[in-house]
Amino acid sequence: MKKIITVFTLAAAFISCESSSSCTKDQETCKKDEAKQEVTSDETLVGNINAFEENLAAFNSCKQTTTGKGKCKEYIAKAVCEYYGIEDLKDGSNYVDYDKIPKKLKELESWENIGNFDEENINTALEKLNNFGKPVLIFNEDASYVHVVALKPNGKSVKSGKWGNISVPACISYFPRRKDSFTEKGLNYAFKSADDLTIWTKK
């Protein structure tokens, strides 16, 4: 006995529905509002990202071609201002000399002192630097010779045995007297000790 298999073809009908848009009344205005909400990486970049390297080259050139005391003292302030697109470290049209930066920071309401150099304060400074794009400056207090450095954004931190095994962040350092200035080495290359260091950051 033969089995007769009957195949029924079923036709499915699909009804497409148009999705409603909240921008139907004023497409141009709506698109502009949506565009404002989009945050791109370009919007977070302010200033010149090569400022530290360019100013180091200019600083070294200045030391070779300029004679006398008090020469080439404005380059760390210039580099910080250009990198972050700020004018905090300027007096009029001139950049502040490095040895006058501590006094300048204390006069600015837009900057704050985080405290002495220790693990907790360094972590706070690095959070402001890397997560919020705030410049961080470190200098030595109670010394006849003042030196100011800027922390390197997204730089590496290494533990220093001489500094109590604390994590030492990378910094930018322009030495007026030494010949080994750099744009990314540990803070312990810029200072002999962490004892009298203080940390400042833009609010």
Residue 193 lies in a domain: yes
Mean pLDDT of 94-120: 96
Residue 160 lies in a domain: yes
CATH number of the domain within which 117 lies: 3.90.1720.10
pLDDT for residue 68: 75
Comparing 3-12, 113-122, 149-158, which segment has the lowest mean pLDDT? 3-12
pLDDT for residue 164: 87
How many domains does the chain fold into? Answer: 1
**C-alpha–C-alpha distance, residues 114 and 200, integer Å:** 6
Mean pLDDT of 121-128: 96
Comparing 13-17, 32-36, 43-47, 113-117, which segment has the lowest mean pLDDT? 13-17
Residue 99 lies in a domain: yes
Residue 23 lies in a domain: no
What region, left, alpha or beta, does residue 131 occupy, with left being phi > 0 and alpha being psi -120 to 50 degrees?
A: alpha
Residue 130 Cα distances to 15, 48, 186, 199, angstroms: 52, 16, 16, 15
**C-alpha–C-alpha distance, residues 189 and 203, integer Å:** 27
Residue 105: which domain range?
46-202
pLDDT for residue 172: 98
Mean pLDDT of 41-64: 83
